[in-house]
Structure 1
Amino acid sequence: MRRFSALLFGLIAPLALLTPVASATAPAASDTISWTPCQEDPAVECGTLAVPVDWSRPASGTFDVGVARRKAADPAARIGSLVLGAGGPGGSGVNLVLQSTRMLTPEVLRRFDIVGLDPRGTNRSHPVVCSTDLLTQAPEPIFKSQADFDRALDYNERLRADCRARTGPLFDHVDSLSTAADLDAFRAALGEEKLTFYGGSYGTLLGQLYAERYPQRVRAFVLDSTMDHSLGTQAFMDTETWGAQDAFNEFVAWCDRDSRCLQHGKDVRAFWRGLLARADRGELPMPGEPGTQVTAFMLISTARGHFYDPANWQPFSQLLADLDSGRAPSPGALPMAVGTTAVGTTQEVSPNPFQIFCLDFRLPVRDYKEYARHLRRLAKIAPDMRYSSLALGPVVSCLGQPDPIPNPQHRLKVRTDTPVLVVNSLHDPATTYPWALSTAGQLGRSGRLLTYEGWGHIAYRRGTCVTEAVDAYLISRTLPSPGARCPAVPPAEVQTFHEPVRPIPGTPGWMFSGLFS
């Protein structure tokens, strides 16, 4: 069945409950991690690190976190360890290390050991797993009645019970604050007094929490395409929806000026609204799949996915033309419909790291009446997009999550010697530019914002200006000047080097394993 095309991806915290895991004079890595060549690439070393399931009760049991290390290409010029913080939730820090020769510049690879860990509850770190069949039953998060709302609550309760039973005690301890404690244990095992960090998208939350909890162990931290961990339900939904509309506006502007857009010379907004209207009436069949209709939510979700990178504008234009004419789009161009199962999906369980988000963000909605008010407000913010799937999907997926959660939102209180560098695209459909402004404001004198005036999610490697600024900060801790901005680079001239996070096999397209990166 159809799924999303590959997406470029992916609080007042109880800090007193987290016991510091090690002093600055930690043992060498060889004492606690048995490094062996990774199967995927023998030039990279892989290992595991035992950490507590519950950092507030270390004696209650441990599990193994998967870790990786690529040693500095020039040991004599080595500065220290550079941690790659994976996005998602659901991305892999180990995979980022494996892919780091494509992701990072030669000078960064020369000067740092590149290290990463898979966040708890993902990949090689005891992943959260759930019934594949139950995951395919996820309702589309567009409700029309209190009965729809109640069905979603019931589904979430059944899914949580299933995932908890299959995953074990770790299910209730996969929050990013606990992963920050895991990261400090990793730092101690590496024998480092301080860490250098580059986190993208959801990985920026790990960097924020670590810098807040362990400011004395921060050498230089980059938050690229940053989360804003201070937002309540309305602010979260509003800013995500604003980002979706902003990204659509940029696509329309490209169509107006570029003949490669198949809607060039047409009224693109009218064309788009016509497709949405056909979807609303149930008159937009899924090409090649008799009896399956493309819904408006599927269209909007697909648009947002393509807006992660301006290189996807032309394929998105082609998809719209195909849908309009009834031609079958390329495989994977649309999410699969709710209530269907992907062909060839046979595994009993599938990974579902979304519990991480539900333990990091408390975004309550009381009932359908309140939910409907949100939808009406979002439609005014985004007259073309109506909402963002990132505004609705996370909120709906966490409905009914029991209180309290271990890592609720709060405004950052970071006091580091070296200011944290926040980098963001002006037109980012996932971690929106207002989030970067907010995060930089919360950091105050402990932060500095670099704005990339172009498009897409993840700014690093989008042109020489951003790349050189980030590298100078990582290597020599040289900050861009206050208010620094890098010019937009035409899409054809940009190469991106971050790992895509794909949908969970056999699930509706919006229930993918990584939301933000």
Structure 2
Amino acid sequence: MRKTILAGSLAVAAVAACVACLPMAEAGAGPAIAWGACPSQSSQETCGTVTVPLDHRHPRGRTITIAVSKLATAKPGHRRGFLLLNPGGPALGGLTMPSQMAAQLPKEVLDTYDLIGFDPRGVGHSTPQSCGLSSVNYAAAFPYPGADGSIEHNVGAARRTAAECAAAGPDLRHFTTANTARDLDLVRQALGAPKISYWGQSYGTYLGAVYASLFPRHTDRIVLEGNVDPNLVWQGQQQAWSQGMADRFPDAAKVAAEAGLGLGRTPEEVTRTYLALADRLDRTPAAVPGSPVPLDGVVLRGVTYQLLMRNDTLPLLTRFWRTAATLSSGGAPAETDLAVLRQVFADSREEPGVPADNMITMTLALMCGDASWSRDVAGYARAAQADRGRFPLTAGMPANIWPCAFWPQPAGPRVKVTSQGPRNALVLQNRRDHATPWETGLGMRRALGGRAVFVGADNGGHYVYGTGNACADRATDAFLTRGALPAKDLRCR
């Protein structure tokens, strides 16, 4: 898939109870994974596949394959087992995540686990799904209202996208988080492990919590970083972005003010400059030298969202704002500005065998298939307008209509994340996380109850571990190596 940096409910109780005891969920171990070369020739991992049912309610029916990777780092005498890794998204592939995490983790953690990555069902090399979407611009998938606040074009686009995915066939309704969690238990069996440890980031926190709720006896040590609130999936979680952006944006505005880029002398002035720029680009997009993608308000906000993920990309983000302001005013960008544009708009290679719209397709399949959304079109218009007034940085997008409003009803009930199970989860959360805000991290902590300990870091961005907070890093390392959870929730300055 070509990606730029923009790349970013009630059943009867008996039916809900059976979700956790489907026949294949507790079946005997299947064939061991045959490890070999990975799809990416540059991968440090070895790879294999696990065969799973398309529909776990019919374990002897049609099957799909799950691509799995391994980086064998554990040492004899220290080895505890396997640490499964998921980078979130939703719909991000994870075959190369073991080597990426190995570069961050200390020796004592690497000595304890072999690292396991995987492409979740429908994603990447795991029977990839496609709606055959006519547009594969990931940033455009986010429904920003028009410059005047109208959502008419969003309603039309949402209807078309939902219709295209419906026309692709009925299989997509089986590509849900609950079924992905059931796949993971078959991966566990294929690894020959009685229990698995797990580290999930972003969307991966929800996947991990669902797995731990379905299979508590098979969970070892669980790290959840940058958390989704399981009780807000997914419409409420999307709406939380507005507050998250309001909390995080001042970090970047402060960097811009201190850098003297001409965007404002204070964070407040920079924020006003940014809002005026976004409005101007909404009304009159600017051409980008060397790129077929015009710079409009959606692109500006998309780049901003992605580069707010980490503190070390804030200087690049603020230089991009300056370049965008230059282009919007009709000025000629300097060579240094052109270098910024090349960095921001750099394309990655297409992945052979993966449809161009795979990431968008699976993002929608998960967001729309995990839980029901409101179908009140007028209600979305009112909500977007109110959100736009309260949170100008997100311009009403998080409360706006998504294709999920026109999606078929979910194939099964949402898995309830509860406190039933062992005390074995570490919840890592930044105070100023725009993608999964502080309050949704607290929501995950509440859902898990006594199973979890919360480690809140006074930091900005989406990632906690390895970003400079020694307190949070120490707590994570101690938990993974010794199983030592803090006695109570921590606030790490």
Residue in 1 aligned with 2:423? 418
Counterpart CA distance in 2 for 1:16 and 1:66 is 27
CA contact (8 A) 1:200 1:225 kept: yes
After superposition, residues 367-386 of structure 1 pair within 5 angstroms as 367=377, 369-386=378-395
**1:174: Cα distance to partner?**
0.8
**1:373: Cα distance to partner?**
1.1
Residue in 1 aligned with 2:225? 224
**1:349: Cα distance to partner?**
5.0
**1:32: Cα distance to partner?**
3.0
Counterpart CA distance in 2 for 1:226 and 1:317 is 26
Which whole-Å deviations, capped at 9, do the CAs of 1:436-483 have from their partners, x for residues lacking one?
111101211111100111111121112232222111111211112423
Counterpart CA distance in 1 for 2:291 and 2:105 is 45
Higher relative contact order at CA 8 Å, sep ≥6: structure 1 or structure 2?
A: 1
CA 273–59 in structure 1, closer or farther in 2 if over 3 Å, else same: same
Residue in 2 aligned with 1:278? 280
Counterpart CA distance in 1 for 2:303 and 2:45 is 35
**1:127: Cα distance to partner?**
0.8
Which structure 2 residue ranges, 5 or more long, are not aligned?
328-332
Larger deviation, residues 123-132 vs 32-41: 32-41
Q: Secondary structure at the match of 2:127?
A: coil
Counterpart CA distance in 2 for 1:64 and 1:400 is 29
Counterpart CA distance in 2 for 1:59 and 1:153 is 35
Counterpart CA distance in 1 for 2:91 and 2:384 is 28
CA contact (8 A) 1:227 1:431 kept: yes
Q: Secondary structure at the match of 2:303?
A: helix
CA contact (8 A) 2:310 2:460 kept: yes
Counterpart CA distance in 2 for 1:347 and 1:234 is 28
Counterpart CA distance in 2 for 1:451 and 1:250 is 18
Which AA in structure 1 matches 2:36? Answer: T
Counterpart CA distance in 2 for 1:210 and 1:233 is 17
Larger deviation, residues 175-184 vs 44-53: 44-53
Which whole-Å deviations, capped at 9, do the CAs of 1:390-418 have from their partners, x for residues lacking one?
x258x51323111134354x652132222
CA contact (8 A) 2:125 2:354 kept: no
Counterpart CA distance in 2 for 1:37 and 1:233 is 36
Residue in 1 aligned with 2:253? 252
**1:261: Cα distance to partner?**
5.3
Which whole-Å deviations, capped at 9, do the CAs of 1:353-391 have from their partners, x for residues lacking one?
221222124332411x2122112221243134434x5x2
1:460 is matched with which residue: 448, 460, 465? 465
CA contact (8 A) 1:232 1:363 kept: no
Which AA in structure 2 matches 1:159? Answer: E
Residue in 1 aligned with 2:326? 325
Residue in 1 aligned with 2:366? 356
Q: Secondary structure at the match of 1:55?
A: coil
Which whole-Å deviations, capped at 9, do the CAs of 1:186-232 have from their partners, x for residues lacking one?
11121211111111111111110111111111211111111112116
Residue in 2 aligned with 1:512? none
CA contact (8 A) 2:132 2:165 kept: no
CA contact (8 A) 2:427 2:452 kept: yes
Which structure 1 residue ranges, 5 or more long, are not aligned?
337-341, 488-517
**1:146: Cα distance to partner?**
7.2
Larger deviation, residues 369-378 vs 172-181: 369-378
Counterpart CA distance in 1 for 2:4 and 2:490 is 35
Residue in 1 aligned with 2:408? 402
Larger deviation, residues 422-431 vs 83-92: 83-92
CA 139–425 in structure 1, closer or farther in 2 if over 3 Å, else same: closer
CA 348–120 in structure 1, closer or farther in 2 if over 3 Å, else same: closer
CA 392–51 in structure 1, closer or farther in 2 if over 3 Å, else same: same
**1:299: Cα distance to partner?**
2.3
Larger deviation, residues 75-84 vs 318-327: 318-327
**1:262: Cα distance to partner?**
5.1
Q: Secondary structure at the match of 2:447?
A: helix
1:19 aligns with 2:22: yes
Counterpart CA distance in 2 for 1:233 and 1:263 is 35
Larger deviation, residues 174-183 vs 268-277: 268-277
Aligned length: 464
1:475 aligns with 2:476: no
TM-score normalised according to structure 1 size? 0.80
CA 381–238 in structure 1, closer or farther in 2 if over 3 Å, else same: farther
Same amino acid, percent of matched pairs: 24
Counterpart CA distance in 2 for 1:42 and 1:250 is 35
1:485 aligns with 2:485: no
Larger deviation, residues 397-406 vs 44-53: 397-406
RMSD: 3.3
CA 278–219 in structure 1, closer or farther in 2 if over 3 Å, else same: same
1:447 is matched with which residue: 433, 452, 474? 452
Which AA in structure 2 matches 1:366? Answer: D
Which AA in structure 2 matches 1:148? Answer: H
Which whole-Å deviations, capped at 9, do the CAs of 1:138-181 have from their partners, x for residues lacking one?
677226657535522431233203543xxxx6422110100111
**1:335: Cα distance to partner?**
11
**1:271: Cα distance to partner?**
1.4
Q: Secondary structure at the match of 1:353?
A: helix
TM-score normalised according to structure 2 size? 0.84
Which AA in structure 2 matches 1:304? Answer: Y
Residue in 2 aligned with 1:5? 5
Residue in 1 aligned with 2:270? 268
Residue in 2 aligned with 1:209? 210
CA 264–310 in structure 1, closer or farther in 2 if over 3 Å, else same: farther
Residue in 2 aligned with 1:501? none
Residue in 1 aligned with 2:330? none
Counterpart CA distance in 1 for 2:235 and 2:174 is 26
**1:236: Cα distance to partner?**
3.0
2:436 is matched with which residue: 431, 434, 443? 431
Residue in 2 aligned with 1:155? 160
**1:78: Cα distance to partner?**
0.5
Q: Secondary structure at the match of 1:372?
A: helix
CA contact (8 A) 2:136 2:356 kept: no
